[in-house]
Amino acid sequence: MRVIRFCLTILIASIMTTIVFAQQKNEVSVTPKIKEGYVNVDGGQVWYQIVGTGNAIPLLVLHGGPGYPHDYLEPIADLGNERPVIFYDQLGCGKSERPLDSALYTIERFVKELAEIREALHLDRVHILGHSWGSMLATDYLLTKPEGVISVILASPCLNSQQWVKDQKKYLTAFPDSIQQLIKISEQQGTTDSDEYQAAIELFYSRHVCRKDPWPEYMVRAMAGVGADVYTYMWGPSEFYCTGNLKDYDRTDRLGEITVPVLFTCGQYDGARPETVKRFH
């Protein structure tokens, strides 16, 4: 895999600076020129938003989950001053349609959806940023050898589902035994709708999803737009157990097939532990 070039380093530096600055202000400064609409894809309509009219190569953003809409990534919209930034809510969450047919919720169909988005929006040349589950989607898309992808950023990447689960459980060991046992027993017994379980998960999220207190409005909005059925069907009951159709996902042995510049990035407390991400290079 080729080492990332200077231009991509500048791009990701801009993204990280934008996110930190926006979180410090507890707001998002959005470039005023915004276009929204829907794209017809296999299975339904997918909502998209284009922010900014800069002349640089567009950035296409793939949110995490599966089933967590784009909202939490909105600080990246500040890059619209230099390039168009394209967000979309994948089928089954956010502002997109939410079909009940579980056969639609496979990584293969989401890869096809990504290609349909690019074609509909005429994104002939594009940078891609995939966060968390979005990194899985971006990786599988790259393995189809699409034309016109200039570079890819895999942020807090999940490239091996079982390794991701191990990393979350590693984080969990830092919590009191009572919290660990509550989460374990609740998920084994299917009592994840209890107030106690929800409080335990919120505590975990406060350390490893968003450490700002209170959460910024765009984080709250993202959680309200989650496609829970998609998450459960594809992943499982929580980050600690992967029982869905992604349970055997592992692309670590195929990273060498990717020929475009790729940048891996993660934070100290991210779901993707730095010790794990280092092994992807």
Number of Cβ within a 10 Å radius of residue 102: 15
What's residue 115's pLDDT? 99
Helix, coil or strand: residue 80: helix
Tell me the pLDDT band of 10, cut-offs 50, 70 and 90.
Answer: very low
Tell me the pLDDT band of 192, cut-offs 50, 70 and 90.
Answer: confident
The C-alpha angle 204, 207, 213, rounded to 5 degrees, equals 110
Kindly tell me the sign of the dihedral angle through the C-alpha atoms of 4, 115, 161, 167. positive
What's residue 148's pLDDT? 99
What's residue 23's pLDDT? 43
Q: Is the pLDDT confidence value at 98 over 90?
A: yes
Q: pLDDT digit string (tens) for 224-281?
A: 999 999 999 999 989 998 999 999 999 999 999 999 999 999 999 999 999 999 999 8
Q: What CA–CA distance (Å, rounded) separates 100 from 77?
A: 31
Per residue in 224-256, is it b (16+ CB within 10 Å) or e — as a string?
ebbbeebbbbbbbbbbbbbebbbeebebeeebe
What's residue 236's pLDDT? 92
Q: Which residue has the higher pLDDT, 200 or 15?
A: 200
Tell me the pLDDT band of 27, cut-offs 50, 70 and 90.
Answer: very low
Q: What CA–CA distance (Å, rounded) separates 93 from 211?
A: 24
Q: Which residue has the higher pLDDT, 21 or 141?
A: 141
Q: What CA–CA distance (Å, rounded) separates 134 from 279?
A: 19
Tell me the pLDDT band of 3, cut-offs 50, 70 and 90.
Answer: very low
Q: Is the pLDDT confidence value at 201 over 70?
A: yes
What's residue 53's pLDDT? 85
Q: Which residue has the higher pLDDT, 117 or 31?
A: 117
Tell me the pLDDT band of 154, cut-offs 50, 70 and 90.
Answer: very high
Q: Is the pLDDT confidence value at 2 over 50?
A: no
Burial class (CB in 10 A: 0-12, 13-18, 19+), 52: buried
Q: What CA–CA distance (Å, rounded) separates 94 from 86?
A: 15
Burial class (CB in 10 A: 0-12, 13-18, 19+), 112: middle
User: If you search the block for the tokens 């979309």, which residue do you land on?
Assistant: 88
DSSP state of 146: -
Mean residue pLDDT across the chain = 90
Tell me the pLDDT band of 33, cut-offs 50, 70 and 90.
Answer: confident
CATH numbers and ranges of domains, the chain: 1-268 (3.40.50.1820)
Q: Is the pLDDT confidence value at 15 over 50?
A: no
Q: Is the pLDDT confidence value at 183 over 60?
A: yes
What's residue 193's pLDDT? 82
Q: What is the pTM of this model?
A: 0.89
Q: Is the pLDDT confidence value at 140 over 80?
A: yes
What's residue 178's pLDDT? 95
Work out the average pLDDT over 176-195: 90
Tell me the pLDDT band of 32, cut-offs 50, 70 and 90.
Answer: low
* Percentage of the chain lying above the pLDDT 70 cut: 89
